[in-house]
Amino acid sequence: MKIIVCESAHEVALKAYEVFKNQITVKPQSILGLATGSSPILLYKELIQGYIRKEISFKDVITFNLDEYVGMDISHPQSYAYFMKHYLFNHVDINVDNTHIPNGLAENLDLECAQYHQALSERGVDLQLLGIGSNGHIGFNEPHTTFESSVHVVKLKDSTRNDNAIFFQSIEEVPTHALSMGIQDILKSKKIVLLACGKKKAEAIKAMILGPIDESCPGSILQTHNDVTLILDEEAASLLKQK
């Protein structure tokens, strides 16, 4: 794993921007795996600025998002479909037909998972963006999800629902289930970039990098991938220095 420690969240976003700019420049038809949550927001702002400066174009880019809540209308501001439009897609020249997000409203969720997995497998992700949960989850692969998983329906842990409650009026409003790429889908990406900022992520980062490769910390599986870059702020990296 390559680890880059930055002085601020802004610097994290700038470093990540360079990785994405390079990917899209070298391969304009890149297939990007995208994430939601607070971690990628500053990066998405940089990508929009890069598009405005004409440094990059999303015209031929194809995207697959990691996950989506189950049962949430895409017009709901907390749905990941809404998030992606709000923070990125509405502001760049991407073709919406080239953007993919699991459909959490599908009548048959297992079929939706199978079809999303099939679409991912046919294309193959060039560059996957990840955040990490304070409990070590990647995508919505919660601790003890099998490392053999592909796209699946997830019951969200209370810790994850609590973390995400800041985006809702109350904890009761946070959905209980989500659809998520599985660990195997994530590992198939050619390159992975994981962003983490803040003290709340320090334990998960430590377990992911220094701990055993174990399903209790889903992020630890990234130790087995040959092209992972972690871009962290000093707080997220703070427990790496302690011996």
- Catalytic (active-site) positions: 67, 135, 137, 142
In angstroms, give the least distance from the CB of 131 to ligand F6R.
Answer: 2
Angle between helices 41-52 and 9-26 (to 10 degrees): 50
> d(Cα 104, Cα 74) in Å, to the nearest integer?
9
Looking at the Cβ atoms of 36 and 189, the one nearer to ligand F6R is 36
Q: Which helix or strand (DSSP H or E) is residue 129 part of? A: strand 127-130
Looking at the Cβ atoms of 57 and 239, the one nearer to ligand F6R is 239
Would you report the helix, strand and coil content of the chain in percent, each value rounded to 5? 40, 20, 40
- 111 in helix, strand or coil? helix
Applying CB under 6 A, the residues found at the interface with ligand F6R are: 35-39, 66-67, 131-133, 137-140
Look at residues 82, 34, 39 and name the one whose alpha carbon lies nearest to residue 58: 34
- For residue 232, CA distances in Å to 20, 34, 104 come to 16, 18, 31
Looking at the Cβ atoms of 17 and 140, the one nearer to ligand F6R is 140
In angstroms, give the least distance from the CB of 83 to ligand F6R.
Answer: 9
Looking at the Cβ atoms of 59 and 161, the one nearer to ligand F6R is 161
In angstroms, give the least distance from the CB of 235 to ligand F6R.
Answer: 13
In angstroms, give the least distance from the CB of 243 to ligand F6R.
Answer: 27
> d(Cα 5, Cα 69) in Å, to the nearest integer?
31
Strand 177-180 relative to strand 191-196, pairing: unpaired
